[in-house]
Structure 1
Amino acid sequence: MAEEDLRHRRELEHKSREAEIALRQAAQDLEQRKLTEYYRMGQFGQMAGIAVSIFAIGGALAAAFYGAPWQVSAAIKGLPIAGIVLSLRS
Structure 2
Amino acid sequence: MYRETSLGIINHIFGDNYYNRSFVTGLGINPPMHPHDRRSGADGVEAPWPGYLVGGGHTATDWIDDQESYSHNEIAINWQASLVYALMGFVD
**Does TM, scored on the shorter chain, surpass 0.5?**
no
Larger RCO, structures 1/2 (Cα 8 Å, 6+ apart)? 2
Bigger strand share: 2
TM-score under structure 1 normalisation?
0.30
